[in-house]
């Protein structure tokens, strides 16, 4: 391609850039004229090729190029293109001087033609350098624009999600607050009822153990309080993640809150049903102390416990023995209360050997022994099993209210606490425990001969 085609290519590039800028920036008054300029530029380019670079057309093209530059420079809307237009200015100036010299001072033009060509070459280098720089800046600006656009979209999505989640959090918080208030009110009533049951022994018979009811009430309330505290912490974490804009963490925390809420509702309904049954429960008075045959009492409750356990689990089977000291003196006790203590300890023993038997240990033979004897001025009743024993770390806690080593729903959490209260406060005695892990546990009731 002849070098003289260059002005036509530059004019075409300039008109094309001005057209796109006007169209993208909604300069509708210039879109149509500049579109015609593109077509006109292409048309004259074809003419230039056919006429083999006519000087007249080349001069015309220089004027057309200068006209486009002057037009664009005068439009305020096209100020962002000034650096782009400045790239064409040296070439346009050199072309104009060269054409004027060729027309008016031909001899001067011929003499200095090489200088004009070099000046034209330098202007082309300047043009390419500016265009290259402009291209890099445009790419960087476009990349930054896309980044800002994406950030704006993300921020809008986060803001919308934030509003939605805040609404959900407020709704869930209100629900949890109402549930907590209801449960706290119920717990207050239950504690008052429990205290009466524990202190006054309000059971009309041995089959109505307060401990089981009390544990069944306290257990779901513990779950409710625990999950309420967890949800309170999760809500604080949720607000922090919303500020950070971490959508994945926000969704994960929201799912955790929802799961905890379902657990709260489940245990709350369970507590509600227990409360209704407990408030309707009958209340009885403590019995009077009377001379009691401890050996006979132990025999009665050992059999009662075993057959009661068998009634609940037909597959259960264990050996049990009563080792009594002959001529053991009778002592004054409340038979129902001591019987309740015996029933609780023996039930625990049978439970322990049953759990160990279920573990599948070969050649294991479950065994429970109740032993009575007189030592000095005291009578000792020992309930021994060969179950799994109590871990050393838990031994100091077993007489605490609502503490149990059994699985959820199996232990009362109050049996040993009430038993200790009956023996220590009601009969001036003591209960001691000895246990070895994997070997078994022994509870010893110590009662004075004269109470």
DSSP string covering 21-88, please?
A: HHHHTT-HHHHHHHHHHHHHHHHHHHHHHHTTS-HHHHHHHHHHHHHHHHHHHH-GGGGGGHHHHHHH
| Greatest distance between any 2 Cα atoms in the chain | 153
Residue length of the chain: 451
User: In this structure, what are the phi and psi dihedrals at residue 114, rounded to the nearest 5 degrees?
Assistant: -65, -35
What are the backbone dihedrals phi and psi of residue 166, each rounded to the nearest 5 degrees, phi first? -65, -40
Is it the case that residue 272 has pLDDT exceeding 90? no
Is residue 204 predicted with pLDDT exceeding 60? no
Between these two residues, 259 and 423, which has the higher pLDDT value?
A: 423
- In the numeric block, the tokens 């209704």 are attached to 276
Residue 173 has pLDDT above 50, yes or no: yes
- Among residues of the chain, what percentage have pLDDT more than 70? 80
Report how far residue 94's alpha carbon sits from residue 100's, in angstroms, rounded to the nearest whole number.
10
pLDDT greater than 50 at residue 2:
no
Would you put residue 148 in left (φ > 0), alpha (ψ -120 to 50) or beta?
Answer: alpha
- Least reliable range by pLDDT among 41-45, 194-198, 365-369, 380-384: 194-198
pLDDT tens digit sequence for 114-138: 777 777 778 777 777 777 777 787 7
Tens of pLDDT along 226-235? 778 888 888 8
Q: Chain-wide mean pLDDT for the chain? A: 78
Beta bridge partners of 291: 332
Inform me whether the pLDDT recorded for 198 exceeds 70. Answer: no
List beta partners, residue 323.
Answer: 371
pLDDT digits (tens, 9 = 90+) for 60-80: 667 777 777 777 777 877 777
- Lowest mean per-residue pLDDT among 135-149, 309-323, 390-404, 413-427: 390-404
Q: What is the pLDDT of residues 389-409, one digit of tens each?
A: 988 878 777 777 665 666 655
Q: How far apart are CA 65 and CA 52, in angstroms?
A: 20
- Over 70: is that where the pLDDT of 293 sits? yes
Position 280 confidence tier, pLDDT thresholds 50, 70, 90 = very low
User: Does pLDDT of 209 surpass 60?
Assistant: no
């Amino acid at each position: 391609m002849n070098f003289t085609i260059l002005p036509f290519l530059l004019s075409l590039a300039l008109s094309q850039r001005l057209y796109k800028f006007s169209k993208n920036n909604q300069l509708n008054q210039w879109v149509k004229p500049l579109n015609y300029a593109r077509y006109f530029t292409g048309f004259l380019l074809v003419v230039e090729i056919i006429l083999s670079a006519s000087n007249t057309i080349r001069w015309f093209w220089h004027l057309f190029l200068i006209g486009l530059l002057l037009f664009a420079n005068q439009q305020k809307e096209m100020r962002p293109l000034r650096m782009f237009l400045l790239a064409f200015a040296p070439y346009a100036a050199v072309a104009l001087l060269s054409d004027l010299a060729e027309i008016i001072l031909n001899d001067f033009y011929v003499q200095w033609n090489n200088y004009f060509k070099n000046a034209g070459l330098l202007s082309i280098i300047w043009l390419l350098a500016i265009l290259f720089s402009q291209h890099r800046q445009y790419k960087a600006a476009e990349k930054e624009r896309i980044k800002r656009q994406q950030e704006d979209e993300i921020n809008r999505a986060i803001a919308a999600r934030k509003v939605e989640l805040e609404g959900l959090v407020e709704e869930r918080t209100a629900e949890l607050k109402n549930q907590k208030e209801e449960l706290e009110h119920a717990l207050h009533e239950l504690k008052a009822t429990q205290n009466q049951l524990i202190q006054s022994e309000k059971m009309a018979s041995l089959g109505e153990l307060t401990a089981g009811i009390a544990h069944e009430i306290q257990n779901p309330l513990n779950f409710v309080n625990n999950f309420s505290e967890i949800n309170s912490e999760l809500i604080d974490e949720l607000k922090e993640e919303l500020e950070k804009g971490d959508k994945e963490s926000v969704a994960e925390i929201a799912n955790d809150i929802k799961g905890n809420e379902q657990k709260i509702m489940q245990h709350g309904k369970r507590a509600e049903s227990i409360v209704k049954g407990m408030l309707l429960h009958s209340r009885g008075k403590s019995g009077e102390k009377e001379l009691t045959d401890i050996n006979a009492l132990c025999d009665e409750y050992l059999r009662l416990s075993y057959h009661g356990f068998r009634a609940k689990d037909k597959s259960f089977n264990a050996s049990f023995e009563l080792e009594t000291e002959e001529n053991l003196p009778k002592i004054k006790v409340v038979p129902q209360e001591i019987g309740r203590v015996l029933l609780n300890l023996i039930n625990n023993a049978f439970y322990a050997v049953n759990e160990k038997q279920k573990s599948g240990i070969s050649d294991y033979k479950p065994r429970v022994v109740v032993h009575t004897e007189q030592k000095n001025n005291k009578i000792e009743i020992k309930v021994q099993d060969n179950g799994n024993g109590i871990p050393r770390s838990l031994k100091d806690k077993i007489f605490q209210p609502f503490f149990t080593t059994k699985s959820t729903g199996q232990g009362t959490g109050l049996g040993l606490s009430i038993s200790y209260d009956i023996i220590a406060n009601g009969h001036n005695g003591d209960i001691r425990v000895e246990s070895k892990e994997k070997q078994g546990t022994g509870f010893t009731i110590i009662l004075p001969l004269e109470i």
